[in-house]
Structure 1
Amino acid sequence: MVKSTNILLTTFQNIKMSKTELVEIGKTALNNAYELCTREDGWTVDTNNSDVTIDWRPGEAFNMKIMENGGEWRAWRVKTKIEASVDMVYNIIMDIDNIASWNSSLTQSKILERIDDVTLLTYQVTSGQRPIVNHRDFTYLYRTENRGNIRLAGGCSVETDLKPPTKENVRAWQFPGLMMFSPIDTEDSDMCEFTWLQQCQYGGMMPVSMLNRVFPVAIKMFVSSLKAQVKKVKKKDNK
């Protein structure tokens, strides 16, 4: 197990970080998220069926900045089995510039900057339901790693002058999170387990209690969209 470490982010008034600093932030966030995601105790089950398992625990900031009046948040963990190889599922999700084409929860998704071969600075905007729910946007620093035959993509929000907050969207803040792509040994076909840890302060006026009711629904919609995209890609590859 990777030892948890602290991560300190600057305020928005001091956002000129070097590439070396960004790489270190991404590395630390991924390690913290991996440690949290692989904890065995302390989880409360929300959903457990043949398609998906969703559980949660109180969120952990790992000493990152916290939104004022943002309230408590949860760390949500989803696990699902997908009939596809690790590489296929990984490549679909990490095609950042095209993920909004199949993920209906996003209206925008793009890479802002490639920091190095394993570190990406990205920007995404959620779909929302105005005037009930405003769009959320966030910047996210990804780090990718391979640990044995498992592929990882994790990170956290950072503040960057490439995408400062605007009045058009509510700026959300992502604490250390992780996606894990693990192979499953089968005789018949490729199979992998997709695990996603997300913990986020969404900002705005929506009560946290409402978010906690809505989020499992949003997770299930994402899993359904992902599996549909996997089938689409497999069908195209088999032509």
Structure 2
Amino acid sequence: MSFLPVFQREMAMLVHRIGGLGYLFSGLLFPMIYLLAFGWGLGSRVEVAGGYVAYLAKGMLAIAVMMNGFQQTAISVSAARFYFRTFSVLRMSPVSDFGIVFGIALAGAVRALFAGAAIFLAAWLFFDVQLLSLPGLLGIVLTAFCFAAFGVAVGLSIRGQEQFSVIINFFITPMTFFCGSFFPIANLPSAVGKVVSLLPLAQTNALLQADGWDGGAVAALILLAVLTALAFAWGVVRMKRYQEF
């Protein structure tokens, strides 16, 4: 398995960085604040099937996994390219382009799942939120890899850090607020809801809110798997075309 050295390298870097409290909590701060603020402030006032706090906790879990999977991975790849100039070392190694992308994405997914576990632990401690269903568990694992692979592709594609902000502002932030994490997509205008329902985070939330394998959960899992494959394929293509500046 040629990806293992890359995965081990990324995990060793994560263990080194995690000693800093800022790094550990930076990816958790945003979803944690929303969970506590909305959970305490609106939890008893908003009516959603199964309770708003449980609904919100799953939405914050999805956001935490998305943000940590994408943002930390994209920053790591782009920083290695632009600032440390160390990314070319991977290209000179005997690891295939597929293995490099898979190893980095897998490490990003593990990092995202750790962040998601921390968010869900807080929800369980403060709000007594119940465990996830099987569709929810599979959905959150696939989501972690999807956004980590997307992070690799973006980190290899951007020409400067200012372009990273464009991706955050025009793609990640809209998904955060409109893909069913704070309220059901059905509450959106019909035309907007149809577009939003095709985005990966919408599939994540659909799986997290599902109690079992109904038609909607199966369709969401299939679409999320397709989007994950596309993100990974984009990462591999960008890796094959990568040239050091």
Which protein has the bigger strand share?
1
Check whether TM > 0.5.
no
TM-score, with structure 2 as normaliser? 0.33
TM-score, with structure 1 as normaliser? 0.34
